[in-house]
Amino acid sequence: MTPKLIVCEHPLIQDKLTALRDKKTEPAMFRRLMEETGALMGYEVLRGLRTRKKTVRTPMGPAPSLCVDQSIVFVAILRAGLGMIPGLLQIAPQARIGHIGLYRDEETLNPVRYYVRLPKDLDKSFVVLCDPMLATGGSAVEALHILKTDKAKQICLLSLIASKAGVARVHREHPDVPIFTAGVDAVLNKVGYIVPGLGDAGDRLFATL
Ligand code: PRP
Ligand code: URA
């Protein structure tokens, strides 16, 4: 299986990413941009949804059409993944939402699990794991392990900025999971931050700096 990395190069996504990276962007605007980026990138990710044929009647007669034929689940890695959920729900309001609480141990950078609440029937669902930052990849790998233990079969990872090392780690440990991102940064510093990245996504989103 060839692991997939899809870089969303749409000008609107790139423009919003630029504003998100800008340290002058205040939390209120940061939140709004994260939400909008969630919607735009979600549109790309959900291209893989299964559809079925359906005929509807227009005022002029029958129209052979298509409709979505798969349950959708968005899973936010807390905290920063929450920022993308409102935008994703704008385009797929029928989706169900899961939460995976992880924080990185400051010394080891390993993810520490503190909360998991997932919808049922993940095995039949199209699951989108959301976390704007893919740094060492430890959090994503752990969250993917949790989802697969709960029988999820079709999973995409949605991240706004990915480090090269994070992409390599997810591809190595979960080669079946396509990664959608808006930017790939080369450097991961000694404390596991993406450089240039955008700083601490959770802190910028929730104004806890
Ligand atoms: C950040 C970010 C990711 C994780 C990425 O969360 O939102 O979840 O780090 O890093 P990794 O790829 O090296 O695992 P953090 O642990 O800071 O928690 P927070 O969102 O609650 O602040
Ligand atoms: N988490 C963030 O929020 N930013 C980084 O650069 C790395 C981890």
pTM here is 0.97
User: What percentage of the chain's residues is helix, strand, coil (to nearest 5)?
Assistant: 35, 35, 30
Alpha-carbon 77 to chain mean position: 9
In this prediction, residue 4 carries a pLDDT of 96
Dihedral-angle region of residue 131 (phi above 0 means left; psi in -120 to 50 means alpha; beta otherwise):
beta
In the numeric block, the tokens 């079946």 are attached to 176
Encode 152-191 in three state secondary structure: CCEEEEECCEEEHHHHHHHHHHCCCCCEEECEEECEECCC
In ligand 1, the atom with minimum distance to the C-alpha of 203 is 22
Q: Is 150 a catalytic residue?
A: no
Q: Is 200 a catalytic residue?
A: yes
- 140: Cβ–Cβ under 8 A, 6 or more apart, which residues? 77, 129, 131, 134, 157, 159, 166, 170
List, for residues 136-179, the tens digit of each pLDDT value: 999 999 999 999 999 999 999 999 999 999 999 999 999 999 99
Q: Is 192 in the pocket of ligand 1 (CB under 6 A)?
A: yes
Nearest to 194 by CA among 158, 172, 153, 164: 164
φ, ψ (nearest 5 deg) of residue 92:
-140, 70
In this prediction, residue 3 carries a pLDDT of 83
List, for residues 7-36, the tens digit of each pLDDT value: 999 999 999 999 999 999 999 999 999 999
Token output for 43: 């549109």
For a mutational test of ligand 1's pocket, the pick from 139, 179, 206, i.e. the residue with the most ligand atoms closer than 8 A to its C-beta, is 139
Q: Is 203 a catalytic residue?
A: yes
